[in-house]
Every structure is written in C-alpha cells, then in structure tokens.
C-alpha cells in the first residue's frame, strides 16, 4: 500500500518475508474457539469395553471403537480381542439394604480377601518354631478371651494379626511368641471392643513374662509392619453373614441376628478347632466359613448364602472332616452366661474348651482314616490276592503321633 496515493496497490511478496498477522476481534475469536471445541477431532478416538459373559466364569471383553457422528463406523474386527478373568463370579447373596448398597458391601468384602494375605509357609522363615507352638499360643489366647468376655471377632482378629505379622518377620524366637500374641489380642480388643481391657490386665495374664512397656513397644512395631491394615474379614464375620442370610426373612432388620444361637456356637467351635491347625491358612477365610457351615447344612444352602461353587469348597470340606468327627464324640456346646453381657449377645462371646486335647485326638482320627483307606485299597488291589497282606515298606509306615 502506498501512503501517498491512498490507493491499494498489489505488490509482489517475497517468499522469505513473513506473512503479516491479522488481528481478529476478541468476541469473534471466542466464537471460533467455541466452535472448534464442539467439533470432534478425527485423530482422537475413544473406546469402550463390550462385555459378553460366558457360562464358564470368564468374560471376553472386546475393545471396539466408539464412532463419532461425523465419522464412518470402523470395522470392530480390526481391533484385538482380550480375555479378562472375571473376579466377581459370585453374585451378592446379601438382600436389599436400606442403609447401603448390598452389591457395594459384597464387593468390599471380596476385595478384602485379596488385600489381606495369609500363608502357612511363614514357618519356613522361623526355623526355631513348630506348628504346635502356634496351636498352644492360640489356645491360650482363646482362654484369655473368655476370661475377659471378649468377642469372637476380637480373638480371630488377633489370630489374623499374628499370622500376617509373622509372615513379614524372620528367625523369631519362641520366647517372643507370647509377647506377640498378647499384643495382637490387645490391638484387636481396641479395634472391636467397646470397653477393652486395660494394658496392665493383658500384662497380668502373662504372669510376669511381659510388662506394659514390652506390649506398647511391640504394638507399635506390629502396627507399622501391618501398615495399619487392621480390618480383615475373618472366618467369624463370614460365618455370621452366611448364617444371617440363610435365616433372613422379608421385612426384618438385617443387622439383628435371626439365626439359631445353639447351631451357631457349634459351627464356631468347629472353626476354633480348625483355626488352631496351621493348615487352615491354605484356604481363604470365606471358604473356611463356608466349609464349616456346610457340615451343618447342605451345599445348596451354602451356595445360596456364599455364591461359592462346589469345587472351591470341597477340598476344605474334606480337610475339615476329621475335625468334625472329633467334635461329634464330644458333648454339644452350651451357651454360657457372662456378667454384663446380654442374653441375645452370648453367642458372640469367645469361649474355650480343651482344644489342644481335641487337636491331638483329631490327629488320631486322621491317621486311623488313612490306615483304613490304605487297607481297603490293598484289599481291592489285584496284586493283593493272598489272605495275608504284605506289610508296607519302612518309608510307608505311619510315625507315632
């Protein structure tokens, strides 16, 4: 443009000269930006997971492109297919709740099964310890729980804290087991009980083996080691849920117990005896409770209240059978009266019987069953046709319990 003539003239533009920037009014720029934001970008795609559930429990999830309105829908076959394991194959047996979503409650309980890990292999980290030492400790903790009228949940929380803590340690001496056990019970009582016993009472029951400072020091160490994860779903909490779902009727409060207390304490006695055996840590807490419940009901009921399949319960059920046979020879447990405990809450208080003696008797039952099974196998074996059976070799003989 020539300022002198005042006319607009066309001039040749040099390719190296940058183009002059044209300033757009602010309102017009905002309008154009808003229009650009509304238009979908052709390069950016979003995806959704299309689930197709199968009967075998696995869920194939197909990633398919979500086409925009302006774009042609693409071919789903161009995308890869992925198979994901369905973790929530158990439908929620909890009825509709007025105070929470039953599905959310059920999923949180299942997630705790994955979060809180227990394993009996921790004894390999402690060469000086034996499985019977754990059984003696747990038997003593159950006795202390009854003396102070602690709830069953408190005793089972202490057992869980002890096992998970020992899983993280190495070369623990047997002299420290009582201190770790009573500290675990002290922590559990503060979690579960409304009026937990004082720390000097826990030190008193150790008969001078542990003082209050030892318990406080060990408490801090256990809490740090467990990273303050102190709310697992114990076998007792699963069992109470199963019993409540089985006895639940329409229109009744789900939080109020509806099940038979006499049958409930029989199942809890079976659980107490099984938990003293370290092999119980091979199974998840929900499966342990379901197997114990199955010994007093049918599998159809267990499947209804737990959602577990037969394959997931049958192994634990068979492992638990010798314990059940031992308890059948004993008198049925009776509800005990505790001071300052209401009659409708007596079944929740932890009780103690001669569990160590029952555990030894269970070992005899197991060995006798195995001997009987071996005898039947030898009888029906095509090799053993003679009247006198060939004795087993030295490696096959049963050791004295």
pLDDT for res 199: 96
Which one, of 352, 341, 342, lies nearest residue 265 by Cα?
A: 352
pLDDT tens track for 285-314: 999 999 999 999 999 999 999 988 899 999
Residue that is written with structure tokens 């006895």 in the block: 247
Q: What's the order of all strands across the beta sheet hosting 58-66?
A: 46-51, 58-66, 81-85
pLDDT for res 25: 59
Please say if the pLDDT value at position 162 is more than 80: yes
Please say if the pLDDT value at position 37 is more than 70: no
State what percent of residues in the chain have pLDDT above 90.
47
pLDDT for res 248: 79
Which one, of 45, 44, 55, 53, lies nearest residue 76 by Cα?
A: 45
Task: Tell me which of 58 and 394 has the higher pLDDT.
Answer: 58
Fill in the DSSP letter of residue 398: P
Q: How far apart are CA 333 and CA 288, in angstroms?
A: 20
Q: How far apart are CA 371 and CA 387, in angstroms?
A: 18
DSSP calls for 65-112: EE--TTSPPPPGGGS-EEEEE-S--SPP-PPP-SSS-HHHHHHHHHHH
Q: How far apart are CA 84 and CA 398, in angstroms?
A: 46
Residue that is written with structure tokens 């500290």 in the block: 183
Q: Do residues 319 and 290 lie in contact, with contact meaning Cβ atoms separated by under 8 Å?
A: no
Q: How far apart are CA 271 and CA 377, in angstroms?
A: 31
Which one, of 69, 81, 177, lies nearest residue 122 by Cα?
A: 177
pLDDT for res 366: 53
In 3-state terms, what secondary structure has residue 48? strand
Task: Kindly report the average pLDDT of the chain as a whole number.
Answer: 77
Fill in the DSSP letter of residue 244: H
Q: Do residues 271 and 239 lie in contact, with contact meaning Cβ atoms separated by under 8 Å?
A: yes
Average pLDDT over residues 178-202: 96
In 3-state terms, what secondary structure has residue 319? helix
Q: How far apart are CA 49 and CA 39, in angstroms?
A: 24
C-alpha distances out from residue 111 to 21, 98, 103, 272, Å: 60, 22, 12, 24
For the ranges 260-269, 308-317, 378-387, the lowest mean pLDDT is seen at 378-387
Task: Tell me which of 96 and 317 has the higher pLDDT.
Answer: 317
For the ranges 8-12, 20-24, 45-49, 380-384, the lowest mean pLDDT is seen at 380-384
Average pLDDT over residues 390-401: 35
Within 13 Å, how many C-alpha atoms sit on residue 236's CB side?
A: 23
pLDDT tens track for 56-102: 544 444 444 444 444 444 555 544 444 444 444 467 888 787 777 88
Average pLDDT over residues 132-146: 95
pLDDT for res 220: 97
Fill in the DSSP letter of residue 60: E
Q: Do residues 289 and 239 lie in contact, with contact meaning Cβ atoms separated by under 8 Å?
A: yes
**Enclosing H/E stretch for 242:** helix 235-247
Mean pLDDT comparison of 59-73, 124-138, 358-372, highest-scoring range? 124-138
Average pLDDT over residues 268-290: 95
The pTM assigned to this predicted structure is: 0.69
Q: Which domains does the chain have, with CATH numbers?
A: 120-225 (1.10.472.10), 361-396 (no CATH)
Please provide residue 58's backbone torsions phi and psi, each rounded to the nearest 5 degrees: -95, 150
pLDDT tens track for 193-217: 999 999 999 999 999 899 999 999 9
pLDDT for res 31: 54
DSSP calls for 189-235: HHHH-SSPPPHHHHHHHTTTSS-HHHHHHHHHHHHHHTTT------H
If you count DSSP H runs as helices and E runs as strands, how many of each does the chain have, helices first?
Answer: 13, 3
Q: Do residues 215 and 179 lie in contact, with contact meaning Cβ atoms separated by under 8 Å?
A: yes
Within 13 Å, how many C-alpha atoms sit on residue 73's CB side?
A: 4
pLDDT for res 294: 95
Please say if the pLDDT value at position 396 is more than 50: no
Angle at 51 between CA 50 and CA 54, to 5 degrees: 150
């Amino acid at each position: 443009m020539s300022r002198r003539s005042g006319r607009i003239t066309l001039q040749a533009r040099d390719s190296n000269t940058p183009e002059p920037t044209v300033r757009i009014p602010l309102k017009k720029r905002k309008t154009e930006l808003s229009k650009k934001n509304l238009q979908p970008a052709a390069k950016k795609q979003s995806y959704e997971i299309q689930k197709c559930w199968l009967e075998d429990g696995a869920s194939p999830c197909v990633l398919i492109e979500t086409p925009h309105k302006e774009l042609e829908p693409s071919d789903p076959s161009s995308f890869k297919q992925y198979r994901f394991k369905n973790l929530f194959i158990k439908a929620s047996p909890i009825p509709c709740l007025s105070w929470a979503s039953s599905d959310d409650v059920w999923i949180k309980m299942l997630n705790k099964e994955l979060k809180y890990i227990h394993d009996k292999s921790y004894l390999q980290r402690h060469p000086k310890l034996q499985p019977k030492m754990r059984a003696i400790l747990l038997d003593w903790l159950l006795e202390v729980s009854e003396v102070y009228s602690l709830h069953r949940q408190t005793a089972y929380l202490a057992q869980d804290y002890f096992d998970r803590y020992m899983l993280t340690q190495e070369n623990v001496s047997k002299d420290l087991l009582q201190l770790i056990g009573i500290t675990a019970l002290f922590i559990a009582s503060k979690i579960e009980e409304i009026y937990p016993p004082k720390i000097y009472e826990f030190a008193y029951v150790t008969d001078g083996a542990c003082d209050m400072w030892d318990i406080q020091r060990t408490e801090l160490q256990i809490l740090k080691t467990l990273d303050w994860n102190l709310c697992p779903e114990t076998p007792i909490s699963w069992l109470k849920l199963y019993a409540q779902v089985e006895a639940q009727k329409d229109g009744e409060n789900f939080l109020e117990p509806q099940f038979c207390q006499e049958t409930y304490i029989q199942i809890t006695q079976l659980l107490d005896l099984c938990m003293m055996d370290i092999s119980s840590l091979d199974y998840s807490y929900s499966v342990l409770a379901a197997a114990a419940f199955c010994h007093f009901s049918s599998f159809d009921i267990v499947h209804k209240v737990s959602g577990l399949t037969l394959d997931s319960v049958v192994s634990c059920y068979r492992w638990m059978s010798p314990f059940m046979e031992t308890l059948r020879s004993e008198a049925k447990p009776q509800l005990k009266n505790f001071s300052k405990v209401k009659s409708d809450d007596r079944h929740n208080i932890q009780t103690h019987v001669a569990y160590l003696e029952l555990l030894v008797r269970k070992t005899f039952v197991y060995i006798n069953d195995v001997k009987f099974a071996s005898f039947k196998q030898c009888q029906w074996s095509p090799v053993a046709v003679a009247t006198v059976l060939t004795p087993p070799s030295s490696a096959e003989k049963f050791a004295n319990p």
